[in-house]
Amino acid sequence: MIAIDKVLEGISSIGSSMSKHIVKGITNNSCEVKEGFIFFAFQGDKFDGNNFINEAFKNGAILAITDSKKIDISQNIIKVEDLNDAAAKACSNFYNFPQKKIKLIGVTGTNGKTSTTLILKSILEAANKKAIQIGTIGVNPKIKELSTNLTTPNIFELFKILHCAIENKFEYAILEVSSHALAQKRIFGLKFDVTAFTNLSLDHLDYHQTIDNYFKEKLKLFSMNKKNGSSVVLVDSEYGQKISYLKPSINQVSFKNKNVKYFCRNVELGNEEIKGIMTCKSKKIDIQSKLMGRFNLENIVLAAAISFELNIPEKSIEKGIKNCSSIDGRMHIVENLGDYKILLDYGHTPDAYFKALEAVKEKYKLPIKVLFGAGGGRDHSKRSKMAEVVEKYSLECYLAPDNPRYESIDAINADVIKGFSNNNYHCFDDREKALKFALSNLLTNEILIIFGKGNEEYQEIEGVKYFYSDKKIIKKFYAH
């Protein structure tokens, strides 16, 4: 709890607040408002927070802050020019500047964010550092009852998480930073010790419209470093090279150019493990990992480069890489009583499919079957391309729902089917039925890859999240 004038310090506003009040919380959700809260009335794509100001006051709010020209100021409503800036400052003041008391690392890119951040977490823990990871899988490890439904939480959730992390003696916070979070200024006001870029490929064009707009949003992260902060970027791709051209001060990571700061050579992508040697000036680490595929080696090398920027010793980096032998929901082998080869992967873009299928083909050298689907209310342009990639690598494929949300599954499947050129696919409107059919037709000398859900345990249909788990269905299927 803190005096209202302290919470509003640094915020330029029209109107005066009740200066003797004590603030007990801040939020942009009127349903979360309790006695003594400040309510921020954000105008979103679906809901306008200004329509919920009266509800917030009924729930106990002592102040509402808005940037709407339609709302009149009063004793308990003030207006600001930039609501994102005001929210960032208020959160920082209310939680006593947690971003200054913990090292922040932000990782962005289309694919590989979760794996890179989890490998980095393993490295930090090998160095006896306490690290929290915030991203697609939520808050890891869980602290209190904090959770998030977004890859990158909103500013109110994020500051609360950071505050609790500091209370629990965490030294590092590793954030997956989505393009939506950057576009919507969800991390406005934060400054990072290290920022990093994995890759960029076709995704989210429903929101960003063009790949160039998508890239520009990702690029914003590299203007959010602390004064003594740094950035590391994999520069072997087109967009990695673009970042290095636009931001020449970044630290480059490469498998091709030995003149960069971080260079990985002697790459081996074997059946049992992946290997490589990464050099940085006079320093060197030997990479040995049970993870699969070149794309995971890229994630490892990026995590190692971030670790060097954080001054983590080489031995701890090597140990942390070796310790991270699997990533739940990312090319994760599902153990089953039938001893069938089944992999779960969160991948949901053509590029993610390509990299995963290449790795599986190289490692197992077995016929591949694929279950996949496209999410509803998301980028339509990638749907047919997903089918093209799957068809190229699979003996047989199963098209199934993957969070249809508010969109018709028949319409989604029709978009995907446009990418098929032959009839080696089966189409379903129920994911569980599709999975059971795929399992029934799986032979011991084949491998089944299930894309899209990873370790998620829900299906989102018409705004409702129903319990659903690929992993549990598989285990139950072979238990009989």
Instruction: Judge if 369 and 420 occupy the same domain.
Output: yes
Question: Hunting for tokens 């999975």 — which residue is that?
Answer: 435
| pLDDT score, position 203 | 67
d(CA 289, CA 278): 13
- pLDDT score of 328: 82
Residue 317 and residue 338 in one domain? no
State the Cα–Cα distance between residues 434 and 431, nearest whole angstrom: 5
At residue 19, the pLDDT reads 61
Is the same domain home to 455 and 389? yes
0.85 surpassed by pTM: yes
Q: Indicate if 44 and 187 belong to the same structural domain.
A: no
How far apart CA 163 and CA 97 sit, in angstroms, is: 8
Beta pairing class for 341-345 and 447-451: parallel
Tell me what pLDDT residue 461 has: 93
Last residue of one domain, picked from the residues 305, 323, 341:
323
Residue 88 and residue 131 in one domain: no
Residues 368 and 454 reside in one and the same domain: yes
- pLDDT for res 179: 86
84 and 131 within one domain: no
Domain final residue, candidates 79, 94, 109: 94
Of 351, 229, 374, the residue nearest 295 (C-alpha): 351
Q: What is the pLDDT of residues 174-228, one digit of tens each?
A: 999 988 888 888 888 899 999 999 988 866 656 656 888 888 999 999 999 999 9
Q: Which domain holds residue 15?
A: 2-94
461 and 473 assigned to the same domain: yes
Angle at 103 between CA 37 and CA 147, to 5 degrees: 45
Please state the separation of Cα 431 from the chain's center in Å. 24
CATH number of the CATH domain containing 171? 3.40.1190.10
Largest interatomic CA distance in the chain: 73
- Name the burial class of residue 378, with classes exposed (0-12), middle (13-18) and buried (19+) by CB atoms within 10 angstroms of its CB: buried
CATH of the domain at 46: 3.40.1390.10
Counted domains in the chain: 3
Q: Which of 54, 83, 87 is nearest to 67 (CA)?
A: 83
**Claim to verify: residue 72 and residue 131 sit in the same structural domain:** no
Residue 203 shares a structural domain with residue 295: yes
Residues 188 and 246 occupy one common structural domain: yes
Low-confidence ranges of the chain (pLDDT < 50): none
pLDDT of residue 150: 60
- Cα separation, 276 vs 182, in Å, equals 33
**Statement to judge: residues 9 and 23 lie in one domain:** yes
Residue ending a domain, among 51, 71, 94, is 94
